[in-house]
Chain A
Amino acid sequence: EIVLTQSPGTLSLSPGERATLSCRASQSLSDSLTWYQQKPGQAPRLLIYDTSNRATGIPDKFSGSGSGTDFTLTISRLEPEDFAVYYCQQYVTSLTFGPGTKVDIK
Chain B
Amino acid sequence: EVQLVESGGGLVQPGGSLRLSCEVSGFTFNDYDMYWVRQVPGKGLEWVSTISWNGVDKDYADPVKGRFTISRDNARNSLSLQMTSLSPADTAFYYCARDGLPYYFDPTGYFDFWGRGTLVTVSS
Listed in ascending order, the chain A residues whose CB lies under 8 Å from chain B are 32, 34, 36, 42-46, 49, 55-56, 87, 89, 91-92, 94-100
Q: Does A99 contact B44, Cβ atoms closer than 8 Å?
A: yes
Contacts of B45 in A (CB 8 A): 36, 44, 87, 89, 97, 100
Q: How far is the CA of A99 from the CA of B47 in the complex (A)?
A: 13
Q: How far is the CA of A44 from the CA of B113 in the complex (A)?
A: 9
Given B47, B111, B115, which contacts A46 in the complex, CB threshold below 8 Å? B111
Contacts of B111 in A (CB 8 A): 34, 36, 44, 46
Q: Does B109 contact A32, Cβ atoms closer than 8 Å?
A: yes
Q: How far is the CA of A55 from the CA of B111 in the complex (A)?
A: 11
Contacts of A91 in B (CB 8 A): 108-110
Interface of B is mostly: strand
Contacts of A43 in B (CB 8 A): 95, 114-117
Contacts of A99 in B (CB 8 A): 44
Q: Does B108 contact A49, Cβ atoms closer than 8 Å?
A: yes
Q: How far is the CA of A46 from the CA of B115 in the complex (A)?
A: 12
Q: Which residue of B lies closest to A44 (CB)?
A: B114
The 8 closest A-B pairs by CB, nearest first: A91-B109, A43-B114, A95-B47, A34-B110, A97-B45, A46-B112, A99-B44, A49-B110
CB distance from B116 to the nearest CB of A (A): 6
Specify which of A34, A56, A92 lies most central, judged by the most chain B CB atoms within 10 Å of its CB.
A34
Q: Is B100 located at the chain interface by the 8 A CB criterion?
A: yes
Q: How far is the CA of A34 from the CA of B37 in the complex (A)?
A: 15
Q: How far is the CA of A36 from the CA of B111 in the complex (A)?
A: 9
Contacts of A45 in B (CB 8 A): 114
Contacts of A94 in B (CB 8 A): 47
Contacts of B112 in A (CB 8 A): 46, 49, 55-56
CB distance from A3 to the nearest CB of B (A): 12
Instruction: List which B92-114 residues lie within 8 A (CB) of chain A.
Output: 95, 100, 108-114
Contacts of A42 in B (CB 8 A): 116
